[in-house]
């Protein structure tokens, strides 16, 4: 299984990654990601997680 650079590895929808879109910065550089959220994604599929999945994860913990 592969994950496109612009898709969230959790939901498969657009992750709005600024770096992947050629920008200098990304929205994810200014928010906190709990370490546990990355454990939900296999190492080889780790890409930018979208803000919706991040918010959903934080609201369930």
pLDDT digits (tens, 9 = 90+) for 2-61: 557 789 999 999 999 888 888 999 999 999 999 999 888 888 888 889 999 999 999 997
Please spell the DSSP secondary structure of 21-57, one letter per residue: TT-S--GGGGS---HHHHHTS-GGG--PPPHHHHHHH
Write down the pLDDT at residue 45.
83
Contact 13, 50 (CB under 8 A): yes
| Model pLDDT, residue 3 | 58
- Long-range residue pairs from 57-60, CB within 8 A, at least 24 positions apart, any chain: 58/34
**What is this structure's pTM?**
0.80
Predicted confidence at residue 37, as pLDDT, reads 92
């Amino acid at each position: 299984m592969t994950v496109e650079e612009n898709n969230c590895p959790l939901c498969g929808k657009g992750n709005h990654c600024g770096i992947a879109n050629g920008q200098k910065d990304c929205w994810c550089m200014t928010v906190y990601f709990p370490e546990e959220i990355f454990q939900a994604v296999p190492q080889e599929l780790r890409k930018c997680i979208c803000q919706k999945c991040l918010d959903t994860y934080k609201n369930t913990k």
